[in-house]
């Protein structure tokens, strides 16, 4: 990593060296903690942390965030050396701007000190817990939402060992809070799950049952914990050496926790916070009774299209999403996916045009200053495809409609999972179900129909109504045959 010698490090002692418009709105350490956040990755730092800092700067409130990194110690170490400060660089073709954010009141590394995290969740000062831990950390069957504990989660839930998983930390923290008769709490999923509030409630309730939690404690959780649903949106690629170098150039000091993001951001939150919440409206968030229509809009018209661009782009050898969009005909195909399939699959929020939303999404994906790798978006497809694409297909079929373009996305994922790009280079399958997917592919006859048969049998990815639909099978098989025989470029050129 290129770090300039003698540049100094971002921290309270160097704040005065920052350009005035790069300084944080709050000094960390001056606002007491009211929020615990699980998942201290780039997305949280560029999204909820920014909203919360702006809300506190404009409306006050003791809502400092204690950020918990479940596994990786790196970000905790970087933030500890920087008095919990980090910067966000907002970038587009029009230019970029870097600002330090002072929303964090502290950090914890769960793997190193799980007891501290459990104690935090029980702390009376904490009234909101937010999560960005990625889809797979919930350990829920993507189709049914049922808890499918792996051995680590099972050990966390059924033994007294120090918890290392997200379900384990949550359960232990909530039980400690219940035992102390603590104040009520909102548990807020900010992950791209379908009905994320309901899924998180389901996770907690199933964890209590699986652990055999005593009824008075389980009853406290049922009565005192709310699970508001949310729609979160901002494109925030994984930070790279370039991100750190850009931040250093803008700030004049080194920031090893820097993140880069697009200018756009959106947050729709169900207003169900029994212990209060920051005045997030003052930072532009929308508080609502029902985030469902917004969430469906975003999962289908943004994330589904993102996955389409990621798989087709990676197969065609494109490194970033913006490069993928430059593939001839891809934008036309993605616009048809939105206009003909996504828009016909659900009722959007009142007054929103799905087609116009989709066009805005494509313009955001084309942002040349955001280097979002196709392989990053392609990760964990088994956890993402159901809510991003298969729900679109299921709803279209229930209405008696075809799902022409959505089936292309499924075929692109299957071809991606086979492991080779059009030029023969290897594609990595980073997925919690990689073993099952590989086993299904290895056992299948090497034909498009054989592949579809084998992978559609994975019930934790494909619901029966999609897997057993002959028209869907035929469309996916047709697209897969085209991709296998002719490649992405010719498939897109011939797409009708």
| Site residues (vs ligand CS2, CB under 6 A) | 192, 233-235, 303, 306, 376-377, 384
Nearer to ligand CS2, 92 or 376 (CB): 376
Quote the CA–CA distance of 477 and 493 in Å, as a whole number: 18
Quote the CA–CA distance of 487 and 81 in Å, as a whole number: 49
Q: How far is the CB of 451 from ligand CS2 (least distance, A)?
A: 23
Q: How far is the CB of 194 from ligand CS2 (least distance, A)?
A: 13
Nearer to ligand CS2, 387 or 491 (CB): 387
Q: How far is the CB of 282 from ligand CS2 (least distance, A)?
A: 21
Of residues 159, 13, 158, 6, the one with CA closest to residue 81 = 13
**In the numeric block, which tokens belong to residue 299?**
């999962």
Nearer to ligand CS2, 83 or 233 (CB): 233
* Phi, then psi, of 425 in degrees rounded to 5: -70, 155
Contact 27/12 with Cβ under 8 angstroms?
Answer: yes
Quote the CA–CA distance of 25 and 57 in Å, as a whole number: 6
Q: How far is the CB of 234 from ligand CS2 (least distance, A)?
A: 5
Q: Tell me the CA distances in angstroms from 27 to 42, 57, 386, 414, one per residue in order.
A: 20, 10, 42, 49
Quote the CA–CA distance of 274 and 83 in Å, as a whole number: 31
- Helix boundaries (H) for 142-275: 151-158, 166-179, 196-211, 215-224, 241-251
Nearer to ligand CS2, 171 or 377 (CB): 377
Radius of gyration of the chain (CA): 23
At 81, is the secondary structure helix, strand, or coil?
coil
Tokens 């406290």, residue located? 220
Q: How far is the CB of 384 from ligand CS2 (least distance, A)?
A: 6
Q: How far is the CB of 134 from ligand CS2 (least distance, A)?
A: 9
Of residues 361, 239, 377, 364, the one with CA closest to residue 314 = 377
Q: How far is the CB of 321 from ligand CS2 (least distance, A)?
A: 9
Nearer to ligand CS2, 89 or 192 (CB): 192
């Amino acid at each position: 990593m290129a770090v300039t010698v003698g540049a100094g490090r971002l921290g309270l002692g160097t704040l005065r060296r920052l350009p005035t418009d790069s300084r944080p709105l709050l000094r960390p350490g001056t606002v007491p903690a009211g929020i615990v956040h699980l998942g201290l990755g780039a997305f949280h730092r560029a999204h909820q942390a920014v909203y919360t800092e702006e809300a506190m700067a404009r409306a006050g409130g003791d809502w400092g965030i204690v950020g918990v990194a479940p596994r990786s110690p790196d970000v905790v170490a970087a933030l500890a050396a920087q008095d919990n400060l980090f910067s966000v660089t907002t970038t587009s073709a029009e230019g970029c701007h870097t600002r330090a954010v002072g929303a964090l009141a502290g950090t914890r590394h769960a793997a190193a000190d799980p007891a501290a995290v459990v104690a935090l969740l029980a702390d009376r000062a904490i009234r909101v817990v937010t999560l960005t831990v990625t889809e797979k950390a919930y350990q829920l069957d993507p189709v049914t939402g049922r808890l499918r504990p792996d051995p680590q989660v099972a050990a966390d839930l059924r033994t007294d060992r120090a918890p290392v998983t997200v379900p384990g930390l949550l359960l232990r923290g909530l039980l400690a809070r219940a035992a102390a008769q603590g104040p009520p709490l909102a548990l807020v999923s900010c992950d791209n799950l379908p009905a994320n509030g309901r899924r998180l409630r389901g996770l907690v309730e199933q964890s209590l049952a699986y652990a055999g939690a005593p009824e008075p404690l389980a009853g406290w959780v049922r009565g005192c914990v709310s699970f508001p649903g949310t729609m979160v949106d901002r494109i925030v690629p994984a930070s790279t050496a370039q991100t750190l170098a850009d931040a250093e150039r803008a700030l004049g000091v080194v920031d090893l926790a820097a993140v880069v993001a697009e200018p756009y951001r959106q947050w729709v939150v169900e207003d169900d916070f029994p212990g209060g919440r920051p005045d997030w409206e003052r930072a532009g968030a929308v508080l609502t009774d029902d985030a469902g229509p917004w969430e469906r809009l975003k999962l289908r018209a943004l994330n589904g299209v993102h996955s389409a661009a990621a798989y087709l782009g990676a197969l065609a050898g494109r490194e970033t999403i913006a490069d993928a969009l430059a593939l001839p005909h891809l934008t036309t195909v993605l616009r048809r996916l939105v206009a003909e399939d996504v828009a016909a699959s659900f009722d959007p929020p009142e007054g929103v045009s799905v087609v116009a939303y989709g066009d805005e999404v494509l313009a955001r994906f084309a942002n040349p200053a955001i280097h979002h790798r196709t392989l990053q978006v392609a990760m964990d497809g088994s956890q993402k495809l159901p809510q991003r694409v298969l729900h679109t297909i299921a709803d279209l079929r229930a209405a008696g409609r075809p799902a022409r373009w959505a089936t292309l996305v499924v075929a692109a994922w299957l071809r991606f999972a086979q492991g080779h790009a059009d030029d023969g280079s290897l594609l990595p399958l980073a997925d919690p179900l990689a073993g099952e997917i590989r086993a299904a592919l290895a056992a299948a006859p090497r034909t498009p129909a054989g592949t579809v048969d084998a992978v559609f049998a994975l019930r934790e990815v494909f619901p029966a109504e999609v897997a057993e639909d002959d028209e869907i099978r035929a469309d996916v098989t047709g697209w897969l045959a085209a991709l296998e025989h002719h490649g992405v470029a010719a498939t897109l050129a011939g797409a009708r």
